[in-house]
């Protein structure tokens, strides 16, 4: 059985033509966000590209593919691509649009761009909304470093961050109850412990019952009642990845890989909710 699996893997790898491109792009699916990131990468990366859509193949031996192609850099787009690219050790890897990138220990040859705007961008938005006491739920194992940085920055900007640790989705209701009467705004992060359909509804109900705005990282949440969102610009993130690829860490370098924030965020607002709450967003 193992021998048969090996034959299948090798045949799949041999199905790819040997282009020898400067950058090997591993794209998880044909999702529009991923395609926009590839377009941005093309715009800033000066070399040739080879794009492999992983969804088109049951199995891809990425390590073997990299050994044969010998690219200068591997760009991994999406969670599946990141999962496979982590096996590569002898080539620089840049990752974008992969949620688990935020909380994993990175190997020396791997760097990436996070999936959420920098804390300072959110904090300045909150101040522009006239809100100083901000509520936040998070799992330390998922978004701990991000929240720690946000807490430090909030003090510098004159804001108070009321944060509650949760370690299970079952703790959300109780944690929200602890925030009642203490906050003027509720902030939602892309934390996989928190984000379930049931908990999303709990956030929205808390927002409506307490007449406070909910600010998210995803504009789709505006349709459900969120007041505003800061979304990353997928095209610009791709451009940023292309520029980052030119200085991506070589495997021979010591230390750990690093994560940087997306440099551009897009503000989306739900004008109906803002009017009901009497909120006018001033220039940050």
pLDDT digits (tens, 9 = 90+) for 237-264: 999 999 999 887 655 554 456 889 999 9
DSSP letters, 211-232, are T--EEES-GGGGGGT-SEEEEE
Instruction: Let me know the angle formed at the C-alpha of 243 by 237 and 245, rounded to the nearest 5 degrees.
Output: 100
pLDDT of residue 79: 94
* Separation CA 68–CA 235 (nearest Å): 29
Name beta bridge partners: 165: 138
pLDDT of residue 282: 80
The answer to whether residues 227 and 276 touch, using CB atoms and an 8 Å cutoff, is no
DSSP letters, 118-135, are -HHHHHHHHHHTT--EEE
CATH number of 2-115+234-263: 3.40.50.2300
Name beta bridge partners: 215: 187, 228
Topology annotation, domain 119-216? Rossmann fold (3.40.50)
- Quick: pLDDT tens for 49-70: 999 999 999 899 999 999 999 9
Mean pLDDT calculated for residue range 159-168: 94
Mean pLDDT calculated for residue range 72-97: 95
* Separation CA 173–CA 51 (nearest Å): 44
pLDDT at position 86 over 60 = yes
Instruction: State how far Cα 3 lies from the chain centre.
Output: 38
Highest mean pLDDT among 100-104, 130-134, 199-203: 130-134
pLDDT of residue 239: 97
pLDDT of residue 9: 42
Q: Domain coordinates of the chain in residue numbers?
A: 2-115+234-263, 119-216
DSSP letters, 135-173, are EEEE-HHHHHHHHHHHHHHHHHTT-EEEEEE-SSGGGHH
Buried b (16+ CB within 10 A) or exposed e, 230-244: bbbbbbbbbbbbbeb
Same fold, 2-115+234-263 and 119-216: yes
Confidence of residue 196 (pLDDT cuts 50, 70, 90): confident
Q: Dihedral (C-alpha) 267, 273, 274, 278: value to the nearest 10 degrees?
A: -170
> 174 by DSSP, 3-state: which?
helix
Residue 185: which residues within 8 A CB-CB, separation 6 or more?
Answer: 126, 129, 131, 133, 134, 135, 212, 213, 214, 215
pLDDT of residue 100: 83
* Separation CA 161–CA 72 (nearest Å): 43
Mean pLDDT calculated for residue range 90-117: 87
Mean pLDDT calculated for residue range 160-188: 95
Mean pLDDT calculated for residue range 270-279: 96
pLDDT of residue 103: 64
pTM of the model: 0.84
Mean pLDDT calculated for residue range 31-41: 97
């Amino acid at each position: 059985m193992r021998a048969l699996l090996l034959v299948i893997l090798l045949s799949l790898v041999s199905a790819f033509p040997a282009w020898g491109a400067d950058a090997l792009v591993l794209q998880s699916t044909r999702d529009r966000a991923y395609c926009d990131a590839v377009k941005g990468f093309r715009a800033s990366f000066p070399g040739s590209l080879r794009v492999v859509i992983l969804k088109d193949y049951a199995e891809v031996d990425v390590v073997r593919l990299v050994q044969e192609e010998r690219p200068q850099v591997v760009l991994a787009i999406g969670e599946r691509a990141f999962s496979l690219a982590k096996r590569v050790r002898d080539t620089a890897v840049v990752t974008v649009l992969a949620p688990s990138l935020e909380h994993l220990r990175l190997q020396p040859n791997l760097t990436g761009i996070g999936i959420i705007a920098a804390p300072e961008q959110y904090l300045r938005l909150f101040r522009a909304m006239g809100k100083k006491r901000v509520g936040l739920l998070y799992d330390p194992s998922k978004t701990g470093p991000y929240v720690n940085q946000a807490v430090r920055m909030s003090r510098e900007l004159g804001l108070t961050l009321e944060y509650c640790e949760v370690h299970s989705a079952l703790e959300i209701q109780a944690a929200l109850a602890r925030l009642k009467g203490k906050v003027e705004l509720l902030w939602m992060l892309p934390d996989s412990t928190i984000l379930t359909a049931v908990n999303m509804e709990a956030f929205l109900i808390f927002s409506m019952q307490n007449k406070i705005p909910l600010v998210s990282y995803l504009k789709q949440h505006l349709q459900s009642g969120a007041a505003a969102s800061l979304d990353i610009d997928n095209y610009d993130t791709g451009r940023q990845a292309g520029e980052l690829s030119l200085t991506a860490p070589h495997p021979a370098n010591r230390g750990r890989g690093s994560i940087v924030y997306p440099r551009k965020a897009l503000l989306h607002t739900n004008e109906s909710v803002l009017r009901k709450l009497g909120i006018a967003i001033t220039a940050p």
